[in-house]
Every structure is written in C-alpha cells, then in structure tokens.
A and B are shown apart, each in its own frame.
Chain A
Amino acid sequence: MTALVAGEGVDEPTGPRLAPAPKRTRRRERDTLSVEWVKLELLRTAYATRGGLLTIMDPRAVVIWYVILGLSPWFTHNLTVLVILFTIAAISVIASRVGPLILGLFIIGLLGEAVYVFIAAWFFGGDSGTVIALLELTLKLGTLSMASMAAFVSLDPEKLSDALLSFRAPALLSFGVSYGYRMLPILIDEFHTIVDGHRLRSAPVQKAGFLGWRVLWRIAEVTFAAFYPLMLNTAKRTRTTVEALETRGFTYALEHPDGQRIRLAYLRYRWRDAGLIAGTALLVVAAYAVGYAAPLEVRDFQ
C-alpha cells in the first residue's frame, strides 16, 4: 500500500516521492511535506543508536549529572563562573557526539533569541549594559540546554524512564515510554494510510493559489479529517492492549515494590558513575572558587 502510493505518485502537488527523488528541483520544497519522507526521517531519529561518553554510564548517574550541571548556573550572577560552566557543558556536548543538526538548531535558536531581545531592548533605550545582561542570560540558558542535550541525546528512552522510575517518578511515565516506543511506527503507518486514503478519494488541488494557500488548506483539512478515524481506531486498539495488560496484572506489578525491584535490578552504580558525579561536582565547585577569586559582574560594565 505504502510503496504503491508512494511509488506511483498520485498526481497532486504534494505527492510523495521515494528517497531518490526525480530531478525536478521545483518539487523539492514540497517534498519535505510528504508523509513518507517524514515517516522515514522520524523513525531514523527515534531508533538510531548513537555512541558517546554518557551512553556507557548508569542512567541514574547521567540524570544526577544533568541536574548538577543544569542547576548550578542559576545560583550566581558572576560571569566568570558562568563562562566556566558554559565551557564544561560545551565540552560534554562534544564528548557525547550530539548530531550537527540538533547542535546547529540550538546555536541558531540561542543566538537568534538574544539578538531579538536586544533589538527590542534597544528600541526601549537599551545600551551595552543590556548586551552584557543578555549575555548572562544566554550563558545560563545555554548551559542548561547543552547539559540536557548531552545527557538525553545519548540516553536510550527506556533506560531514561527506568532511571526516572528509580527516582520515584510515576510508574505511568515508564509505561508510556515503553508503549510509545513500540507503537510509534504503527501509529505513523496508520496515519499515513488514512491520509493516503483521503488523497486517493479526492480530486487534487487544481491551482496552488497565492503562496500555495490552497495546498496548505488541503493539508490542514486532511489532517483534521484524518483524526476522526484515527481516534476511533486508536481507542479500539488501546482497549485491546490495556485489557490484555490488565488481565496479566500489569498495573499491580508496575506499582508493587517487588515488581519495581525486578524491573530496575539491572541498574547498578559502578566506579565510573561515582567518578562522573564527583568529577562534575568538583568542577562546579572549582568554577565557583575561580569566580570568587576573580569576580566579573554584570554591573561592572554599566
């Protein structure tokens, strides 16, 4: 079904193409909206395995590491400390092999935000002091974001949810992760089938209109309409799954201490985990010590 529709291509401006797209550059922009492309791209992102420094660590240690590094910049206004913490976070991002796409988006987002705020501030009479103040904020937000990137990009979602479970997070979170991890391809496939059905049964958009608004309108229309059968089908499937799980005592086992103990038995702290946490804590303390010795405050620039 999928291959047929994608390969033959219904003659519609938003028609999906397989990866070796025909050499018509005019089409390329719209191809990014094709459901098939999106599906492949998403599955690639969700199920790809990446190496990295933090992958070999115990997930609980990674979460603790993240909390230490992510929270530490918010307790000071000292720029020296912030620069050091930012550097630590940047090094860990490089060490955990964050992909260039995510990294690029992050840098553009962070800088863009700061530039916009500065333009608006300049409009209200800001000066170079405003830039320094924004720099402080950017350093803090950047450290937090990079810490989360380094920690969670390389962490398997199921491992992460087990770590959160061991920190007494609600058991439903862990269940949701396992469920979503397995259902995602089925759901995307189903959505794809429904959208294809709509497209097969309806006439293509004749004219694109101003800025292609007719095409966009059609996409929105089909998306809304697709949720009607999708919700009904998902409801049916959910009931089947949940009843099958509950017959086997799923919720009971999920919440029972013994069940949790068995589930989390594979997690164990090793020396390297302790080393990671201790090393990070030491670095943060050192950053604060250096900042105390050579303080650099925002108001020094005003």
Chain B
Amino acid sequence: MTTTTPSPARVGLPHPGELSRSQKLMVFVLSMTTFGLANIITEVLPSIQLGPIELSISYLAFVPVVMVSLFHPLWAALGAPLGEIIFVDLLMGNFSGIGELEGYIQLALGLYIGGSLVRDPLRKWQVALAAFVAVFIDKVLGGITDIVKVLIGVADAEFVEGLPESILVLEAVEQSVDIVISGILFGAIPAMLLAPRLHGRIEPLLGMAPRTPEVPVAQRARISAPFVILALVLGLVSVVAAILDELDLNGIVLEGEFVENYGPQVLWISVGVALTILVIAILVARSRATSSIAASSSDIDDRLAAAAQAPATVTTEPATAESSAVESASPVSTDSTDK
C-alpha cells in the first residue's frame, strides 16, 4: 500500500458533518454521477448465464461505498441509487416505474448503514465491511421483496406444490452469488484499496475536511445501526407474516372477487405499520446519535475489529492498523493523472 498519510484536518474547512447546503448538493451530485457512470459500465460488462443463476456484476459497489465512506453517508447514499435510475434506467429507456422505488430504498438504506459503520476511511477493513454490509442489506431486502411479490401475486402460493421451496432456493442462490460477486469481488476489495488513496485528496476539492475518527459525522445511524437493522428485519418479518396469514384466510374462508380486494388492503396496512416502526426507529436512532456524539464508542470499534478478523486493528492509531492489515499488495496500478 502506498504511504497515504491523512492530510491534517484543515483549519477553516467545514467538517463533513456540518456541510453547507451547496456542499450537500455537491456530495449528492458527485455520488450520483460516479455511480451512474459505473452502472453504464456495468451494463456492457459480460455476464455468464448458468441456467437460472446469472454470474453477472449487478453493480460496481465499490464506487458508492467509497463515496459513503469518505463523505457524509446520508447524502452520498441518497445520491448513488438515483444515479443508477437516471443514467441507466431513465436515459437508456429502461425505467420500470414502481420497481425503481424499491431498488432505490434498498440500496440507499444499505449504503447509509454501511457508510455509517466507517469510522476511519483509512482503515481498509472498515471500508471492506461497509461494502459488504451495504451489498448484503441491498441484496437480502431485494430477495425478500421478490419472495413477497410471489406471495402476493399467486393465489394460495404456499399450497402450490413445490412453488415456495423453489422460489426460496432460487432467490437464496441468486442473492448469495450476487453478494459474493458484487459485494466482495467488485465491492469490498476495490473499495478498501481505493478509499484510503482518495482520503484526504478528494475532500479538499469539495472544500471540506476529511472524515477522521476524532470527529464523527453527525446524522449517521452509527451508534444504533444494529437497532435500525433489527427494526427493519422485524418490520419485514411482520409483513411476510401478515401476507402468509392473509393467503391462509383467502384459501379457506374468503371467496369471490370483491372479498379478495380485502386482502391487499390488509397487506398495505401492515406495510404501513412496518414503515412507521422503521421511521420511528430511525428517528430514535438519530436523536440518540446526535445527543451522544461526543461519547466515543469503543465497543463498536472492538466489534468491527472482531468482525474483520484483523489481529491488531484494536489499536486506535490508524497507521498501525494500516500496516498490520493483511492485504498489502495492491493489484490496482493506480496513477494520478489529474487533467
């Protein structure tokens, strides 16, 4: 790894936590543009189809992950999925209406949580973990959404011979392949190489100081990220349960098409309840995060280190962690041609 020392936080430059309005827009636009371009490249990369399983790169996850690791995670996470929608779907005439909304929410949520986990972008394993978490959340939510679609779309889906198992198996295989390819090969590995190199160089171009572990970013779901995940999982479980319940009723008691309209309404109510829970959870998390921003959270640091399995990352000094990281040889021949 190159000896990228963090440039000292510049006096006078605003910290990424307290951005001006135009800087928020800058982060948003930068994240949107780069991920949009990355998606255009993904569109033309080849994919190998092995029966139902497609060995393809669904997106170059490292681009938005670098963005959420280096800049304010919220604005970068909101911008990146929009770049995909605008550059690939809208401009290429591939816009799928409501389907885009679900994809946007999944990816933005994943990236926001992933980016919030990063405390020091110079630590490669934190960035790698952020990439994995972001893609994992996106893909798992996507898989659940697909299954839910089948459950809504097919009458008495769980009574059809072989259908629930096959959907479950297909989704599980597909999403795991995606998590490995997009999350690790094209997510974690390039991101952990790229983020430390850009750290301290790209932020001054937007007129802001780099993110450092000393001053955590405000408005990130950091302290209670597990809390948000838990709330989300619970909410989704409740949705699935509600649908199963509803299908059950549909099969036994309710008949006729007027009454069938009753089913989706119950479903929407449960979705609404789940969303309310989620919003409340996020609000609570945010208030907690902003109130206890000064409190250093060494326990999460320990957990991160344990998750990354890096032996010496517990030490708080960035340089030590950098040198002790397992990965040292960088295959990316980076050059700094600034035009």
**A interface list, Cβ under 8 A from B:** 32-33, 38, 41-42, 45-46, 66-67, 70-71, 74-78, 81, 102, 113, 116-117, 119-127, 129-130, 133-134, 136-137, 140-141, 144-145, 147-148, 151-153, 157, 160-161, 172-173, 176-177, 179-181, 183-184, 187-188, 191, 193-194, 197-198, 201-202, 221, 223-225, 227-236, 238-239, 241-243, 246, 251, 288, 291-292, 295, 297-299
Contact = CB atoms under 8 A, between A and B. Distances in A.
Given A152-B95, A298-B154, A130 B163 contact: yes
B95 A117 contact: no
Given A187-B37, A223-B41, A153 B93 contact: yes
Given A116-B52, A194-B337, A225-B333, A148 B96 contact: yes
Contact of A75 (B86, B87, B264): B264
Contacts, number: 252
13 contacts: A70-B97, A76-B257, A113-B52, A126-B162, A136-B154, A177-B86, A179-B33, A180-B83, A227-B63, A232-B336, A238-B206, A239-B207, A243-B22
Contact of A173 (B44, B82, B150, B169): B82
A152 B97 contact: yes
A66 B154 contact: no
Contacts of A124: 161-162, 165-166
Contact of B33 (A126, A173, A183, A193): A183
Nearest to A122: B162
Contact of A232 (B82, B92, B190, B198): B198
A122 B169 CA distance: 13
A53 to B, nearest CB: 16
A75 B261 contact: yes
B277 interface: no
B167 A117 contact: yes
A299 B155 contact: yes
Interface string B181-225: 000000000100110011001100111000000000000000000
Contact of B52 (A120, A125, A239): A120
Interface in B57-109: 60, 62-63, 66, 78-79, 82-83, 86-87, 90-99
Contact of A127 (B83, B161, B333): B161
A229 B162 contact: no
Interface of B: 21-22, 25-26, 28-30, 32-34, 36-38, 40-41, 43-44, 46, 51-52, 60, 62-63, 66, 78-79, 82-83, 86-87, 90-99, 149-150, 152-157, 160-163, 165-167, 169-170, 190, 193-194, 197-198, 201-202, 205-207, 257, 260-261, 264, 331-339
A119 to B, nearest CB: 8
Contact of B257 (A133, A140, A295): A295
